[in-house]
Chains A and B, each alone.
Chain A
């Protein structure tokens, strides 16, 4: 039932809004609204029940294991939420003077410094509000760098074929042409193809390392040399930073600009699809182009750096400073973990991934890159199973929902057929991983004995398989009251 279907004309929550209806006589008649607003008329209790019940129709980290590759679904510590929601932080207006927010700004400054330390970059700006916006800002800085040197010929961005869809989409949004390069059999970027692709037209290369294939790009130093020699810059997509935190720094690998998904590596909540936050880090030569604002510290005082001090900045990319509340949560998480905790993130994420890969391999699943170490994630391919039984990766994914597990990432990266990209994250226990393997084995048996059971999954969710084609053909994007 929709909230609108609980609505009764004239029902209202009297505590939640002003007691009197103030006059609007000073607003010109022709500007006043004549049509009704379709908001529900429901009691507070109806509202609370309705949305509590809706919440119970969701999978979440707090209720299920989420081996969702490339998404780093780790536990979101509760303290990060409650401390970021202290009333003083919540009530502070974004345009309030700096001296009324020294406590908040101290957190932001220290967050910037810590992110610099863990990535090996020379500067960090906290403004990007999501991974894709971090990418946009990063690529804009690459463009600004070339143009500041009078080099307008660099019109191409190179992207490996295993990259997230946001990489090519971002490059196009920035006005670049996308050149895709292939991956070799071992899961590395094809170095010969890269060498052939670079030239005076190359603005940069966008790379995720470890890649979305779940392996470390062994030739990264050579790739860096090739791109730099051609005059291009290197962009690090921080989607998989969780795998190498404390082991290698993007700055040491030769990257000029990076974004860091705080909603992955630094455990801010995914919130059903956002808000994210993706600070960008830059090497020395890109410092002048960073987006504003950035926090500066002078003596014991914190303040915002604005346009005047950064005349070459690519500018502002949000109405205020970015997703402050998300940044606070990441800051609190970092302080809880500390230096040793940072190191342990990648260690245990990698241990969990390699253990799960070993166990699933022993259980009879085909690993896409069996000769490689898993990073914090790995790929299982169901190509043979599909050829023999017709059961697809999507079918298996949906059957996992019945077993109480969120599905792994399916059909990404696109170059491995019938793939499941599996990332357990460091916060899961061995028992959880073992139980997951047990369920995967059960499904393997079901595929053999009752393939239709798997093909018809899910069976235990609030709804069965939904008709996507109908959704796109007969668009129903808003409820309408029946006449």
Chain B
């Protein structure tokens, strides 16, 4: 019996102790008419050898590609130690650290994670993570509305990841919060701070600012943050954690700094894995900490005055507050954060900076090479981090299909989310790409367009 250790003798002794004749008898409180028959829709069991064969075949079917897609999930080198340590049984198979004395490993690690994320974002405090970047943004919007008290409207530029905007809308609309979209300058690919003057007489609980934005373009974060604060609205930064090694962190934007920073933590040591599990991060200024959702770890002392770590501010959470909780969330992405913390420790400040700088440089080099091809232009004039939008002289889907035949995933077709941009393609080259890779892509694209 797979994963069940009972011998016939064990079963007999256990039933005798209970005073039952059969295991079936233990289900006698279930009304007969509800009992179902065999689970015919489930295939027969496989041995470990057989399932290994099957999964290897399926993995081989999927194969490997040269990936130039970013759009919210980024390929980075992950040091071998990251997942070897993360999948140690003591991390992998432990429960949520409610029993603090028996969970000091996870709790201390999360405290270290919070320290790293607070510093990376330039904020005072970080929670222990959320599901992913999109839901972290939705929770930040809810948090802003809770804290603001008078406005139930959120202003989100169209340069924010389109799926994030969908997720925010889906979640906040339950609470009758209005999402207002802000257009962008189609020349620069940025939000124009001047365009905000049209909202002078409207109230908002928060303005969302993405750095870099979905097109990889860098926004004028200082002016946007100051505008939000001049309107008595919160500024929520949506940031790429790799970029933060190079760029001004949200906590230092404008004259006062943004109030909440969120983002997708995947670039910090989490494999692409078809989209998950990743983790969302959330950090904020001290005065908002009691409105922050999710797990938070604090350092305290034990009976002997020795330092130790506990889940704290639990009075915000659903298992205590039930219907009055700040959120229904009852997990963080513990294991993903374990990987991210080990990843950040191995890279250190200079390592992460180099990853960011090399990704930036590779993308610039790729764009420079592609721009030389007839029929390829940069879509926007704004400065970029490690991603850029291009316009092609032919429909992007056709070109991507040709590139795929050469083993290259050439980027994201923007047709679906931004039809107004025409034949637009979003490309990304992180530090994992060599000069050779960039050249191969340029040659393949030239051929495909030719």
Contacts and interface: CB of A to CB of B under 8 A. Distances in A.
Contacts of B332: 273-274
Given A94-B274, A95-B412, A175-B176, A458 B101 contact: yes
Contacts of B278: 319-320
Contact of A317 (B48, B104, B167): B167
Interface string B360-372: 1110100000000
B202 interface: no
B65 interface: yes
Contact of B42 (A130, A339, A407): A339
Nearest to B135: A318
Contacts of A63: 89-90
21 contacts: A15-B79, A17-B431, A35-B122, A37-B120, A40-B348, A59-B94, A61-B93, A66-B95, A88-B59, A100-B65, A165-B318, A220-B34, A271-B333, A272-B335, A274-B332, A318-B276, A320-B278, A341-B1, A429-B5, A471-B312, A477-B298
Contact of B248 (A31, A247, A358, A472): A31
A18 B101 contact: no
Contacts of B88: 52, 55
Contacts of A446: none
A101 B274 contact: yes
A278 to B, nearest CB: 10
Contacts of A449: none
Contact of B306 (A64, A335, A464): A464
B95 A272 contact: yes
B38 A339 contact: yes
Contact of B39 (A136, A324, A342): A342
Interface in B155-174: 161, 163-164, 166-167, 169-171, 174
Contacts, number: 678
Assign chain B's interface to a size class: 35 or more
A240 interface: no
Contacts of B128: 273
A467 B304 CA distance: 10
B276 A464 contact: no
Interface string A1-44: 01110000001110111101111101110111111111111101
B15 interface: yes
B234 interface: no
B252 A35 contact: yes
Nearest to A89: B59
Given A175-B176, A272-B106, A335-B54, A95 B69 contact: yes
Contact of A169 (B10, B72, B325, B353): B325
A59 B91 CA distance: 9
A238 interface: no
Contacts of A458: 101-102
Nearest to B317: A165
Contacts of A140: 170, 174
Would you call the interface of chain A mostly helix, strand, loop, or mixed? loop
Given A95-B73, A319-B264, A59 B99 contact: yes
Contact of B302 (A136, A344, A467): A467
Contact of A466 (B73, B310, B364): B310
Nearest to B357: A22
B58 to A, nearest CB: 3
Contacts of A178: 322-323
Contacts of B59: 86-89, 103
Given A94-B274, A350-B27, A37 B345 contact: no
